[in-house]
Chains A and B, each alone.
Chain A
Amino acid sequence: MPIVELDTDQALDTDLVGPVIRSGELAEAVIDAVAEDNPDAEVVVVDRDDYVRVHTRKECRLTLTSLVKHLGRPYQLSLLEIDMPSFKGRLRTRVDEYVWFYDR
């Protein structure tokens, strides 16, 4: 589960999907959780100081279980919204899992 950090996304694959999180403790935990939940994917992280893109190609899963594990405290996925000013791709939200994806 490689994590690739980029400081520019000029040449970024347009097929990337996933959340954009305000920088901080939560963003770090989301990066680790996404890496765990998408074991076969490369996790692309673009850090713009104020916000961080956390993306994988075509489909990006984030489960409550991994996020709680990496955050080290109880959490609910609905709380993600507080620090998520944007995200890339389509979204499906369930209590135990968020999935960003493209169909084509």
Chain B
Amino acid sequence: MLLTRDDWYELSRDVDWELDHVDRATAFPANWTGADGIPEKAWDAWEEPFRVSYRDYVRLQREKESGVKAVSQALVRSGTYEKLDPGHVAASHLHMGTTCMVEYMAVTMQSRMCRFAPTPRWRSLGVFGMLDETRHTQLDLRFSHDLLKHDPRFDWAQKAFHTNEWGVLAVKNFFDDIMLSADCVEAAMATSLTVEHGFTNIQFVALAADAMAAGDINWSNLLSSIQTDEARHAQLGFPTLQVLMEHDPQRAQQALDVAFWRSARLFQTLTGPAMDYYTPVDQRKMSFKEFMLEWIVNHHERILEDYGLAKPWYWDRFLLSLENGHHAMHLGTWFWRPTLFWKPNAGVSKAEREWLREKYPTWEDNWGVLWDEVIANVNAGRMDKTLPETLPSLCNLTQLPLGSAYSRHELAPHQLTYNGRLYSFDSEVSQWVFELDPERYAGHRTVVDRFIGGEIQPMSLEGGLLWMGLTPEVMGDDVYQYAWAREYAALVETEAGTLAGVPVAGE
């Protein structure tokens, strides 16, 4: 009788080297395994939720690949991309530029697990994870390469991480920390559980549903195919969490709370604007907040509770940020649009505003009034007032603008001095993260620090753009050329008598 995988799995997963020439601590240094303080025996309880054999793996991945390729070839040939809404395609530019190289960083992280993880069971899964992330990188590169002839912005799939574009630096800062510099146990908490089991669902499943509705079958299909790998290899975090809950629950809670806040802030930047502003309003499945409640609160936090973890201490602040943070990031990125490599949609036409009001009852008071100012300036032809002259002050932890975590009513400064240097934070939570391990973050200089330090020349916005690698053919501008503001023009004229008769921008 033929053996099934379950017949031999438990034997094969424990196949391991016996070390003769070096001792264990040399072969598996604690600063790479992250297993300090955890007895070696503890790892015998490490039970992978998702069993994988190499034979199955190759067969499945081959099938996934041919599926994605078939869809993509058919769609590229039929010219689907040219028919997509220009507001929506910005979401795919943003994705490829900020995510492709994170997939590549994840190859390194998985390779570290496959070499240094504290149990052979986990090391075997690291091999599959490494191959998964190689696939994701190559999928993104192939997708971008196919579409490069339509838009030079797809070049940023490869280029972005070699530039100093500020948003890319913020992404890189986080993943340098939790993928490239983290030991295996910490990477399992921060990357496998928080990012891969939690937040990537927002981009790769929820936004994929929006993309499908917007007719972008090629991209949507690529995203959800990638997430089928993520859903599997993210699972290695759970048995690791189980071991940690036995031996060092405090460490698990802290690592997860830190990664949760940093992920929330990052996805407010990457996914929030794409869902609530770039996706055409009649094609939006749900709001960013609703998707976050579905995937992060209902889906991700519930399973952490099952392992005995508490919600992060800052839960109330997270919920406040959930209402506001991505609106702040959207207003900020739109205003600083020359510093982007994609074309943002303002997304505040009357119909879009009605949708925003319905989804976020506080939106008008927190954000609408600021957009009214922008609209008045656009309609009065004062375009200079809608564009930046300086750089925004940035958080020394998240690298995102100060004032972008909550609403305009919550702008209290969060600052501390460490070794004689002043550090500023976008929130009390980011400050808390810094204070847990100041040495880890203190040496990093934000874009503004580098500007003040004279590294960016000439010291002007133009110098900054040059330093960020933003060339004219990719530089961001309003994707609809401000057409959405015109429906407010009459309003401006009647409400503000002195502005009566001002030309509408673009005419």
Contacts and interface: CB of A to CB of B under 8 A. Distances in A.
A76 to B, nearest CB: 8
Interface in B177-232: 201, 204-205, 208-209, 212-213, 220, 224-225, 227-228, 230-232
Given A84-B228, A85-B227, A95-B4, A10 B285 contact: no
Interface stretch (A32-40, A48-56, A65-73): A48-56
Of the candidates A15, A50, A87, the one having the most CB atoms from chain B within 10 angstroms of its own CB is A50
Interface string A74-94: 001011011111111111111
B43 interface: no
B303 interface: yes
A61 interface: no
Contacts of B308: 104
A92 B239 CA distance: 12
A103 interface: yes
Given A78-B60, A91-B50, A94-B6, A51 B228 contact: no
Nearest to A20: B205
A9 B297 CA distance: 12
Contacts of A76: 56
Interface of A: 9-10, 12, 14-15, 20, 22, 48-51, 76, 78-79, 81-95, 102-104
A95 B5 contact: yes
B305 interface: yes
Given A22-B224, A82-B63, A102-B306, A92 B49 contact: yes
15 contacts: A9-B294, A50-B220, A51-B205, A81-B231, A83-B228, A85-B227, A86-B201, A86-B231, A86-B299, A90-B49, A91-B235, A93-B51, A94-B6, A94-B51, A103-B306
Contacts of B302: 14-15, 88, 102
Contact of B64 (A82, A89, A103): A82
Contacts of A79: 60, 63
B359 to A, nearest CB: 12
Interface in B223-258: 224-225, 227-228, 230-232, 235, 238
B413 interface: no
B204 A85 contact: yes
B421 to A, nearest CB: 42
Contacts of B5: 78, 95
A10 B293 contact: yes
A66 to B, nearest CB: 18
A84 B50 CA distance: 13
A80 to B, nearest CB: 9
Given A50-B208, A88-B299, 17 more contacts: A10-B293, A22-B224, A49-B209, A49-B213, A50-B209, A50-B212, A50-B220, A51-B208, A79-B63, A85-B204, A85-B228, A86-B201, A86-B231, A88-B303, A90-B306, A91-B235, A95-B5
B303 A86 contact: no
Interface of B: 4-6, 49-52, 56, 60, 63-64, 67, 201, 204-205, 208-209, 212-213, 220, 224-225, 227-228, 230-232, 235, 238, 285, 290, 293-294, 298-299, 302-303, 305-306, 308
A83 B224 CA distance: 8
A87 B209 CA distance: 16
Contacts of B4: 95
A85 B294 CA distance: 15
Nearest to B227: A85
A32 B364 CA distance: 45
B285 A48 contact: yes
Nearest to A16: B298
Contacts of B305: 104
Nearest to A22: B224
Contacts of B49: 90-93
Of the candidates A15, A88, A102, the one having the most CB atoms from chain B within 10 angstroms of its own CB is A88
A46 to B, nearest CB: 9
Contacts of A9: 294, 298
B64 A78 contact: no
B67 A82 contact: yes
B423 to A, nearest CB: 37
Q: Which 8 A-B pairs have the closest CB atoms?
A: A85-B227, A50-B209, A91-B49, A50-B212, A85-B224, A95-B4, A78-B56, A14-B302
Nearest to B220: A50
A95 B67 CA distance: 24
A65 B230 CA distance: 27
Contacts of A89: 303, 306
A11 to B, nearest CB: 10
A82 B228 CA distance: 6
Contacts of A83: 228
A74 B227 CA distance: 25
A89 to B, nearest CB: 6
A95 to B, nearest CB: 5
Contact of A102 (B56, B64, B220, B303): B303
Nearest to A104: B306
A90 B238 contact: yes
Contacts of A95: 4-6
Of the candidates A78, A87, A104, the one having the most CB atoms from chain B within 10 angstroms of its own CB is A78
A82 B56 CA distance: 11
Contact of A14 (B56, B60, B204, B298): B298
